[in-house]
Amino acid sequence: MNKSNIALLLVEDEPHIAQGLVFNLEEEGYQVTHVESGEQALELLAKKPYALLILDLSLPGIDGLEVCNLLREQEDQIPILMLTARGSEQDRITGLSKGADDYLAKPFNLKEFLLRVAGLLRRTHWQTAQLENKHYQFGVNRIDLETHQATTATGTIQLTELEMKILLLFFDQEGKILSREKLLKQVWGMAPETETRTLDNFIVRLRKYFEIDPTKPDYFRTVRGRGYRFVQNPE
């Protein structure tokens, strides 16, 4: 990715915080536009696409949650990183339920901030690339991201919504270890202490579909004591 083509929009009303963020994002090579209110942000977003919206939660006028809400109502899919001074769990949940993609509580570490920005951009980049070709391939397996049909070594399978959800999470986090807690929470919305047998059964099923030898998985690997890891191109 050539970062100088990546236009970010920052909405932050506290000048010293805004200054620091703009400086660091520009250092990283991004193109940054900074505004101080939600109204200004909506105006700009209506005129021009941005790759990412970095949105302070507490703003004069309409607040970050309202901006988020309005954008999602207009079916604007722009990735949103929400910033807030209130670090409560409730705010985090509200923010995410209003359509923010990620969340960072102030005061935050600049390095973490930049990592989150890069992470969200990478995710969008991946999604765009996948949507353009509309399929995902690993080994002989090919998954149609529109029809949810999988072509494997043994035939064609119609994947269920849950199977697709878990697969997309694996593809998105390719090569990374996903903890059982994270998988349960993101796919089933379950608290970690919930019965986790469901997850194991799913993994067994995915291995049966996609592995050459389900007892010796190449793609859907168990990382003992930590969770699972999907590998697109095993050695």
**Distance (Å, rounded) from C-alpha 79 to C-alpha 53?**
6
- Residue of the chain from 21, 38, 50, 56 that contacts Ca ion (CB under 5 A): 56
User: Should residue 13 be labelled a site residue for Ca ion when binding is judged by CB under 5 A?
Assistant: yes
Q: 154 phi and psi, to 5 degrees? A: -105, -5
Q: Please check whether residue 82 is in contact with residue 91, taking contact to mean a CB–CB distance below 8 angstroms.
A: no
Which residues make Cβ contacts (< 8 Å) with residue 174, sequence separation at least 6? Answer: 230, 231, 232
Cβ proximity to Ca ion: between 86 and 125 the closer is: 86
Cα atoms in the Cβ-side hemisphere of radius 13 Å centred on 78 = 29
Residue 119: closest CA among 107, 103, 98 = 103
Binding window for Ca ion (CB under 5 A); candidates: 10-18, 61-69, 108-116, 140-148: 10-18
User: Should residue 36 be labelled a site residue for Ca ion when binding is judged by CB under 5 A?
Assistant: no
x-or-dash string of contact with Ca ion, 135-164, rule CB under 5 A: ------------------------------
Cβ proximity to Ca ion: between 64 and 99 the closer is: 64
Cβ proximity to Ca ion: between 58 and 124 the closer is: 58
User: Should residue 66 be labelled a site residue for Ca ion when binding is judged by CB under 5 A?
Assistant: no
Binding window for Ca ion (CB under 5 A); candidates: 19-27, 48-56, 118-126, 204-212: 48-56
Size of the site for Ca ion (CB under 5 A): 3
Cβ proximity to Ca ion: between 58 and 151 the closer is: 58
Give me the residues paired with residue 102 across strands: 81
Q: Buried b vs exposed e over 153-183: b needs ≥16 C-beta within 10 Å? A: eeeebebeeebeebbbebbebeeeebeebeb
Q: By the criterion CB under 5 A, which residues form the site for Ca ion?
A: 13, 56, 58
